[in-house]
Amino acid sequence: MNIWQTKISKLEAYGFTLSGIARAIGIEPQSVSDIKHGRTKEPRGMAAVKLYQLRPDIFGASPTGHVQEVSDAA
């Protein structure tokens, strides 16, 4: 399991859905699924940065499953 697969699995453990992760990082849910299952090795560009920045261990997932918005500002 690579770092991205691990990250997605941890997000799911905190209650995030693949669709929610996809919305937060600006890619299609199928792309998140492809990363999770090893069909794609890693996200590209800003999607990688945004995925890396998602921190459910600090912010947690909301009870409704809404994913934290990630700012494009650096």
Mean pLDDT of 11-18: 91
- Domain limits, the chain: 3-57
Give 63's pLDDT tier (boundaries 50, 70, 90): very low
Mean pLDDT of 20-46: 94
pLDDT score of 49 more than 60: yes
Q: Which CATH number fits domain 3-57: 1.10.260, 3.40.50, 1.10.10, 1.10.357?
A: 1.10.260
Q: What is the mean pLDDT of the chain?
A: 82
Q: HEC profile for the chain?
A: CCHHHHHHHHHHHCCCCHHHHHHHHCCCHHHHHHHHCCCCCCCCHHHHHHHHHCCHHHHCCCCCCCCCCCCCCC
pLDDT score of 17 more than 70: yes
pLDDT score of 74 more than 50: no
